Chains A and B, each alone.
Chain A
Amino acid sequence: MDALLTPAFGTVVWSTIAFLVVLFLLRKMAWGPILTALKEREESIATALNEADKARSEMSALQADNERLLQEARAERDGMLREAREMADKLVADAKRKAKEEAAREAESAREAIATERKAAVAELKSEVAKLSVSIAEQLIRAELADAGKQEALVSKLIDESPLK
């Protein structure tokens, strides 16, 4: 029991020396490098995580930017398409309108021409009929007017029957 409860002189001496030497050596050779390495690694991990975080937020910002650009482009495209369609519609409408006007004008001029033609034709016909009537009348008159009475009756009859008014 004595041996258990009394610290032995030799034990104290050796363990003091050994402990101090080992503490010194480990501090120099092991704990220093290990603790700095651990600290450096932790710091590098922390910075890496931070950077990853930053990159992620940048990425999301970029993505939002892209999205916005895309939206704008889409809107622009839509606008352009709409404009083009409108223009095309307008062009077609214009063309249609012009064609209609042209057609109308053509029809008008045709109608005018027809009317003029008709007038001319009527005038010509009138003069022809007049000439013909005159010649018929002349011949009739010549034949009829061999007798004076007959002449008079004929003239009046002819005048009455004349379709020309």
Chain B
Amino acid sequence: MNMRISNLFLASLVAFWSPVLAEEPHADHHEHEEAEAFNPSNFIIHHIADAHEIHLWGHTHIPLPVILYSEEHGLDVFMSSAFEGHGETRLAERPSGVTYALSHGHISVHDPSHDHGHDHDHGDHDHTGPHLYDLSITKSIFGMLLMMALMLVLFSGMARSYTKRPGQAPTGLTNAVEPLVLFIRDEVAVPNIGAHKADKFLPFLMTVFFFIFFANLLGLVPFIGGFNVTGTLGITMVMAAMVFAITAFNGNKHYWGHLFWPPGVPLFVMPIIIPIEIVGMFLKPIVLMIRLTANISAGHIIILSFVSLVLIFGQGGEALAAGYGIGIFSTAFMIFMYCLELLVAFLQAFVFTLLAAIYFGEATHEAHH
């Protein structure tokens, strides 16, 4: 009786996070006898990492398209629901006779002759099979496309509302977004790049800002599978690479001069300074990438850690008092973290855009000291 109530209580505490909670215990049920041995680090990594389906609750998934290419088997497109089973390694048999194995978000060509045991020691996939190019629309890519579609609809609608009512005060959604647009233009782009040159970089800065901001917010929406778009290294890497490319392409003589022959530096320091400058050139976008990924992932990890705390202490009702205490504590802290994450969602978008604007400004800065 008591245990029931406590379980109900804990369940209601974590109901908010039910989509992220539900999976691991169930999966374990099928795999092992010691189903109660809850592994928080696997649990957390599972929800932070990219996946080939959107996991809603229990065994309910939204399948996503899997697109594979290998030189031997050619292009293969199917839905991720083709992967059957609930274990750590799930197999998909294709009509072509190839069997693909999905293990920890990684798809490989399944070799039945191979020992099944190696699936469990993850991180040690032996790539004996043919090299697969995985071009699947994963959860993060789906989230990214979703937010981009939203941006296209939102901002083209906004543009239409401007052309429809020229010179008039904005209304509705436009009114809500316009301060952000003006903020990026007047507080981020213009002070760092200069009023005249800013126009050239504004479309990129706006796109990056709103994409990061929206994707961050998407990651905070519960019940839709816990997107972690901006915590996906591949996506932030592409954005950082674009910042690097734009900086490099727009770098003027002054910028490159400073980079390869810093003025006013004694000759004997040059061998130290020049490599530092060149490393710095690459380091700046790399730091952009890591900062964004790490911040967003860290926020998710902290929230999931508090969920895990409840699960650990609530296991089997062994430590009821602790379960209650931790439940209350965790929920309170999760609420706090959620508020913080809302702030971070904006802040990281702002920081990324601001630093990009500063780099563009450095690259196009005219030499007049």
User: Are A and B part of the same complex?
Assistant: yes
Query: What are the interface flags for A1-25 relative to B under an 8 Å C-beta threshold, 1 for contact and 0 otherwise?
Result: 1111111111111111011001101
- Given A3-B105, A14-B135, A22-B207, are A35 and B297 neighbors across the interface (CB < 8 Å)? no
Q: Out of B104, B137, B163, B242, which one reaches A14, CB within 8 Å?
A: B137
- Given A27-B203, A34-B181, are A18 and B144 neighbors across the interface (CB < 8 Å)? yes
A26 near B181 with CB under 8 A, answer no
A38 close to B (CB within 8 Å)? yes
Q: Out of A11, A16, A33, which one reaches B232, CB within 8 Å?
A: A11
Determine how close the nearest CB of chain A comes to the CB of B220; give it in whole angstroms: 19
CA distance A4 to B105 in the complex (A): 10
A11 near B234 with CB under 8 A, answer yes
Q: Out of A9, A10, A30, which one reaches B155, CB within 8 Å?
A: A30
A25 near B234 with CB under 8 A, answer no
Interface residues of B in 129-181 (CB under 8 A from A): 133-138, 140-141, 144-145, 148, 151-152, 155-156, 158-160, 162-163, 166-168, 178, 181
B233 close to A (CB within 8 Å)? yes
B45 close to A (CB within 8 Å)? yes
Q: Out of B156, B185, B211, which one reaches A30, CB within 8 Å?
A: B156
B residues less than 8 Å from A111 (CB atoms): none
A-side binding surface: helix, strand, loop or mixed? helix
CA distance A21 to B251 in the complex (A): 24
Q: Out of A5, A6, A10, which one reaches B141, CB within 8 Å?
A: A10
CA distance A120 to B160 in the complex (A): 125
Please name the residue on chain A nearest to B46 by beta carbon: A3
Determine how close the nearest CB of chain B comes to the CB of A57; give it in whole angstroms: 24
Q: Out of A8, A19, A31, A32, which one reaches B239, CB within 8 Å?
A: A19
A residues less than 8 Å from B178 (CB atoms): 38
CA distance A41 to B185 in the complex (A): 15
B163 near A38 with CB under 8 A, answer no
A129 close to B (CB within 8 Å)? no
Q: Out of B49, B137, B204, which one reaches A23, CB within 8 Å?
A: B204
B residues less than 8 Å from A63 (CB atoms): none
Determine how close the nearest CB of chain B comes to the CB of A33; give it in whole angstroms: 4
- Given A10-B141, A31-B203, A34-B181, are A41 and B167 neighbors across the interface (CB < 8 Å)? yes
CA distance A31 to B133 in the complex (A): 35
Query: What are the interface flags for B202-234 relative to A under an 8 Å C-beta threshold, 1 for contact and 0 otherwise?
Result: 111011000100000000000000000000111
On chain B, the number of residues with a Cβ less than 8 Å from chain A's Cβ atoms is 53
A1 near B123 with CB under 8 A, answer yes
Q: Out of B138, B167, B206, which one reaches A11, CB within 8 Å?
A: B138
A10 near B134 with CB under 8 A, answer yes
B258 close to A (CB within 8 Å)? no
A residues less than 8 Å from B155 (CB atoms): 26, 29-31, 34
B237 near A7 with CB under 8 A, answer yes
B351 close to A (CB within 8 Å)? no
Cross-chain pairs A/B with CB under 8 angstroms, 24 sampled: A1-B45, A1-B123, A3-B104, A4-B297, A8-B50, A10-B134, A10-B135, A11-B233, A11-B234, A12-B234, A18-B141, A23-B203, A26-B152, A26-B156, A27-B207, A29-B152, A30-B151, A30-B158, A30-B159, A31-B207, A34-B158, A37-B166, A38-B182, A40-B166
For the A-B complex with A4-B233, A13-B135, A38-B182 known, give 13 more contacts whose Cβ atoms are closer than 8 Å.
A1-B123, A3-B106, A8-B233, A9-B135, A9-B234, A14-B135, A23-B207, A26-B155, A29-B159, A32-B159, A35-B181, A35-B199, A37-B162
7 shortest A-B CB distances, which residue pairs? Answer: A11-B234, A30-B155, A37-B162, A7-B234, A33-B159, A3-B49, A27-B203
